């Protein structure tokens, strides 16, 4: 039983890490994939939260991430990629993210996150030092336009975060550590 569970956990980790890599073969293709993902996510966000467009325009900058996560009984893992846009400099910093968590949960989820930075210092800290976030509870059962996902917005340390669930089925209450860092290949 334990051997089968370990094999299942390893399989889920490999699946999540494979889905969480930036699509494309070349640096240019990968950057284009991030740009398209970011544009698509912002379109979705503005449809569901029109006020976000004004919040982003007024902010120091924002980030858009594509994330895939899986939870199996007591362990959760995830990964993704994204970009931080500095509104003043109009510069882009490509980033990666990874997460691991402990708690009660079961399922897998493909979701997008938009971070809106209140000030330049907070944005620069996020880019240079990464960021660790803990604690999450959610429920999702969604495929395409069908189903429901409980998500929305949260404000943490001068960062407003919107989450959009793309697909997946998940029920979890976990303590997670999430780390964001610069993507050396794309910067």
Query: Does 52 reside within a domain?
Result: yes
**Alpha-carbon gap, residue 139 to 111, rounded angstroms:** 12
3-state secondary structure of 66: strand
Distance of alpha carbon 55 from alpha carbon 114, whole angstroms: 11
Return the pLDDT at 163: 85
**pLDDT confidence of residue 110:** 77
C-alpha–C-alpha distance, residues 151 and 95, integer Å? 23
Asked if the structure places residue 72 within a domain, the reply is: yes
Burial 24-46 (b: 16+ CB within 10 A, else e): eeeeeebbeebeebbeebbeebe
Residue in the block written with tokens 């919040």? 55
- Count Cβ atoms below 10 Å from residue 141 Cβ, excluding itself: 17
Look at residue 187 and tell me if it is in a domain.
no
Q: Over its length of 187 residues, how does the chain's per-residue pLDDT go in tens digits?
A: 545 544 444 444 444 444 457 889 999 999 999 999 999 999 999 998 999 999 999 999 999 999 887 776 677 788 999 999 999 999 999 999 988 877 666 666 678 899 999 999 999 999 998 866 554 444 444 344 444 444 555 657 789 989 887 654 545 455 667 889 999 999 9
| C-alpha radius of gyration, the chain, whole number | 16
Question: What's the pLDDT score for residue 94?
Answer: 97
* pLDDT (0 to 100) of residue 155: 58
162 in a structural domain: yes
- ∠179-185-186 over CA atoms, to 5°? 90
What whole-number distance in Å separates Cα of residue 18 and Cα of residue 79?
9
How many domains are contained in the chain? 1
Contact between 27 and 187 (Cβ < 8 Å): no
Rounded Cα–Cα distance for residues 141 and 169 (Å): 4
Q: Which domain holds residue 148?
A: 2-182
Residue 135: partners with Cβ closer than 8 Å, 6 or more residues away:
174, 175, 176
Interatomic CA distance for residues 68 and 184, integer angstroms: 21
pLDDT of residue 50: 94
């Amino acid at each position: 039983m334990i051997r089968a569970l370990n094999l299942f956990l390893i399989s889920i980790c490999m699946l999540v890490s494979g889905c969480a890599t930036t699509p494309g073969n070349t640096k240019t293709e990968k950057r284009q994939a991030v740009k398209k993902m970011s544009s698509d996510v912002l379109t979705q966000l503005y449809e569901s939260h029109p006020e976000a467009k004004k919040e982003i325009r007024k902010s120091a900058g924002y980030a858009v991430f594509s994330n895939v996560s899986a939870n199996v009984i007591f362990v959760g893992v995830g990964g993704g990629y994204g970009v931080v846009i500095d509104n003043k400099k109009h510069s882009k910093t490509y980033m990666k993210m990874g997460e691991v968590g402990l708690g009660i949960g079961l399922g897998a989820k493909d979701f997008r996150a938009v971070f809106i930075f209140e000030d330049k210092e907070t944005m620069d800290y996020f880019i240079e030092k990464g960021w660790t976030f803990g604690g999450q509870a959610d429920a999702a059962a969604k495929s395409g336009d069908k189903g429901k996902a409980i998500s929305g917005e949260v404000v943490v340390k001068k960062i407003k975060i919107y989450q959009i669930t793309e697909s997946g089925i998940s029920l979890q209450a976990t303590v997670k550590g999430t780390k964001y860092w610069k993507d050396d290949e794309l910067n």
